[in-house]
Each structure stands twice: as structure tokens, then as C-alpha cells.
Structure 1
């Protein structure tokens, strides 16, 4: 069991299982929440982060 601490003192309990190694530094996991309300909290957090990322202008290199 893992606990993910989110902003605003939100905590999500997760169960994760390694699925495969993607490359030398990256791994793929299967993740599930332990409680239905945690799933909604995690979905909301990921949606907020995705929305923030889309609003930021891309860096010009």
C-alpha cells in the first residue's frame, strides 16, 4: 500500500504493482485506489494538473 499526499492535505491510498520496465529509468505500474472516494480525488487532481499544463505556453528552444 502507498499513500500519495496531494496539496490541501489530501491523501490517497493506492495499491501498485510493477507491470514492466520501459527503459533504464522508467517503469510502468498498474495502480488502483483502495477507496472509491480516493479514486475521485485522484482523478480531480490529475485533471487539475493537466489543465494547468495545457494553459502554460510551451518553451521555445
Structure 2
């Protein structure tokens, strides 16, 4: 299971979204827990893309 702890958008001086920092907690079926931080680019920020991006980053070893 993946619990999103926080998503923090980062903007430039003009108010344009540059990227978002994402902090998640991952809970394995065995009960083990871990945390991860990563960055999402603006084109990744919609629910489908975020879900796929999180899965890919976890599969590739955060």
C-alpha cells in the first residue's frame, strides 16, 4: 500500500509550477514500512500519471 504523506508544489517567481516534491509511506504486505521522497514534473501531475510514476519509481528503487 502507498500512503501519500505530502505533495509540495514548487513555483518560479512568475507563479509557474516547476515541480512537486512528493513524500510517501510504503507498506508491504509483510507489514514492513518505508518512506520515500521524489520529484514529479508538471506533465506527470494528474491522478493517472502520479499513480504510474509512483509505481515506476518504487519498481526502479527509490
Q: TM-score, normalised by structure 2?
A: 0.33
Structure with more strand by fraction: 2
Structure number having the greater helix percentage: 1
Q: Greater CA radius of gyration, 1 or 2? A: 1
